[in-house]
């Protein structure tokens, strides 16, 4: 990798992590455009820089995170399904799914169509209130939706947001819960990967990890603020259209 490639990957991660367009899918396809082979380090790099984006959530929502234990219990309930799926399918995910361009493109395309149809048909009842009002049952259901995101291109953000909207949560509430749920999810994913792979990295590779981490952190703060403003007046149809378009573009580029 070069410093330029690290910067591009960090920016892409920061922009896409919290939008319903799949950060992992964009990282894999961006790596393809930058002629970065899907080595074991590259796969770990794509996982690790997501942790930088997650740190931005801690910075933006630190008051909610330190204000009480209920939010952590809600996040734990939502995290359990993804943790079980991730542990059971870790080898399959890393060997067969990560780096698979066809899986990413089809996931982006089908997910985009689903997002468009869901938003056009969805009639929001606004049964949920603020973050504190999310029940443990609702949190578990959101976690089940999130577990679908082990497939590259599905989008963790899209899965959790659609899940929350489907069970009647306010748009702002589920978007913020999706932000926070990224913390245990990506901490676990990054920790598991480093535990299994870090011994094979050299000093230069660790420097690239740190640089990508920092860039994604800074860019993700701006992305979070953008999405919170965006959802006040818009639904996610535009993101669905974007997913379909970008999938078609990449289909012709990488086929």
Is residue 220 within 8 Å of 56, Cβ to Cβ? yes
Q: pLDDT tier at 218 (50, 70, 90 boundaries)?
A: very high
Higher per-residue pLDDT: 28 or 228: 228
Taking only the tens place, the pLDDT of each residue in 126-157 is 555 677 788 899 999 999 998 888 888 888 88
Q: pLDDT tier at 251 (50, 70, 90 boundaries)?
A: confident
Taking only the tens place, the pLDDT of each residue in 12-57 is 999 998 899 988 778 878 888 888 876 777 777 877 788 888 889 9
Domain ranges of the chain: 3-254
| Spatial distance between the Cα atoms of 81 and 148, rounded to a whole number of angstroms | 10
- For the chain, the average pLDDT equals 84
pLDDT at 198: 60
Alpha helix ranges (H) inside 122-170: 136-146, 156-166
Give the list of residues 6+ apart from residue 39 with CB closer than 8 angstroms, or none. Answer: none
pLDDT at 220: 94
Higher per-residue pLDDT: 125 or 219: 219
Give the list of residues 6+ apart from residue 214 with CB closer than 8 angstroms, or none. Answer: 10, 52
Higher per-residue pLDDT: 94 or 178: 178
Give residue 99's region: left, alpha or beta (phi > 0; psi -120 to 50): left
pLDDT at 130: 75
| 68-72, 81-85, 136-140, 180-184: range with highest mean pLDDT | 136-140
pLDDT at 126: 54
Percent of the chain clearing pLDDT 70 (strictly above): 87
């Amino acid at each position: 990798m070069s410093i330029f490639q690290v910067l591009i990957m960090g920016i892409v991660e920061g922009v896409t992590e919290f939008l319903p367009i799949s950060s992992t899918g964009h990282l894999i396809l961006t790596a393809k455009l930058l002629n970065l082979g899907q080595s074991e380090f590259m796969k770990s790099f794509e996982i690790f820089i997501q942790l930088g984006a997650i740190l931005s959530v801690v910075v933006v929502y630190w008051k909610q995170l330190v204000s009480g234990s209920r939010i952590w219990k809600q996040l734990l309930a939502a995290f359990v399904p993804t943790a079980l799926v991730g542990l059971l399918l870790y080898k399959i995910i890393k060997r067969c799914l990560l780096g698979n361009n066809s899986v990413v493109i089809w996931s982006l395309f089908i997910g985009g169509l689903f997002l468009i149809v869901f938003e056009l048909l969805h009639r929001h009842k606004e049964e949920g209130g603020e973050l504190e009002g999310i029940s443990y049952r609702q949190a578990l259901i959101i976690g089940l939706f999130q577990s679908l995101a082990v497939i590259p291109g599905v989008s963790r953000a899209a899965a959790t947001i659609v899940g929350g909207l489907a069970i009647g949560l306010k748009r702002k509430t589920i978007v913020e819960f999706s932000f926070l749920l990224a913390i245990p999810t990506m901490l676990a994913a990054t920790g598991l990967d480093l535990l299994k792979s870090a011994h094979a990295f050299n000093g230069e590779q660790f420097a690239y990890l740190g640089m990508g981490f920092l860039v994604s952190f800074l860019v993700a703060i701006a992305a979070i603020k953008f999405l919170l403003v965006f959802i006040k007046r818009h639904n996610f149809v535009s993101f669905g259209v974007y997913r379909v378009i970008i999938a078609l573009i990449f289909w012709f580029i990488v086929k």
